[in-house]
Amino acid sequence: MTPITGSIVALATPMHTDGSVDYPTLRKLIDWHIAEGTDCIGVVGTTGESPTVNVEEHCEIIRVSVEQAAKHTERHVPIMAGCGANSTAEAIELAKFAKKVGAHCQLQVVPYYNKPTQEGQYLHFKAIAEAVDLPVILYNVPGRSVADMAHDTVLRLAQVPGIVGMKEATGNIERAQWLIRDVPKGFAVYSGDDPTAVALMLCGGQGNISVTANVAPRLMHELCVAAMAGDVKRAMDIQFKLMPVHKHLFVEANPIPVKWAMTRMGLCGPTLRLPMTELTPSNEPVVEGALRAAGLI
């Protein structure tokens, strides 16, 4: 796999007012991200409302995204397909489809709700890597999945052929430093936490899988370029500008605030699928203020 580096948007999934997936707007978002410098587009992850799309929709979002990105022959931007599930069989099914339609790699989250042991996690990801020849990016987000992937489990999985990286979304920089120090050469560690992404990249991380990039793709690309080049001043100048956005896009559960922000910017509509609901009106000025502070509206 050609290594992915830089700004990887965790793309929100646009929806019509009736709750159906808005594929024309999805195509426009992909065009916009490619024009704005996003380095890789991650689809159907947490921000993409993966828990509330069915398997058919999940596959179609991946297919449309790959197809639309491929139209941009002037600049190749890979698709990172979210294929995570708390059923190993379903995760494999999604990964096989992503491979078939040409996704660059797959993002596989620690199985949520059923709380597998460390051995269960190891066998889950190993089974996926062995079943589908599509590079695997592990995704550890214990705040969502409850189950946490231990350091030693990551190191075991890093030895499995086809497992090539990890999205580290705990926000714990000390933990990330140990990972970057201990994983084998060629195994990428990505931030999955916008507020701490600069620090992780300055420690040797390969990029940021970002919620903020949904509304600030150009700035996030520039931030990642600076951080990975060791340009602390430039990276922190951008980070300071984006800090209110990082913070207030989580004033309610993701992706509620980012969907509202994207609507405010004219990028898509505000619809989410239950049990996710639209942003509480009292929080609208909070998110709008963050967008204004960053010069995004």
State the residue for tokens 């587009």: 41
Quick check: is 167 catalytic? yes
- For residue 275, which amino acid is it? P
Q: What's the rounded Cα separation, in Å, for the pair 266 and 56? A: 28
The three-point CA angle 109-113-116 to 5° equals 70
What tokens does 104 get?
A: 């660059």
What tokens does 91 get?
A: 């995760």
Residue 143: exposure state from Cβ atoms within 10 A (0-12, 13-18, ≥19)? exposed
Quick check: is 113 catalytic? no
Q: Write down the catalytic residue from 112, 167, 190, 259.
A: 167
**Do the Cβ atoms of 53 and 44 come closer than 8 Å?**
yes
Q: What's the rounded Cα separation, in Å, for the pair 168 and 10? A: 14
**Do the Cβ atoms of 52 and 274 come closer than 8 Å?**
yes
Name the CA radius of gyration of the chain, rounded: 18
The three-point CA angle 270-276-282 to 5° equals 65
Q: Write down the catalytic residue from 23, 112, 122, 139.
A: 139
The residues that are catalytic are 139, 167
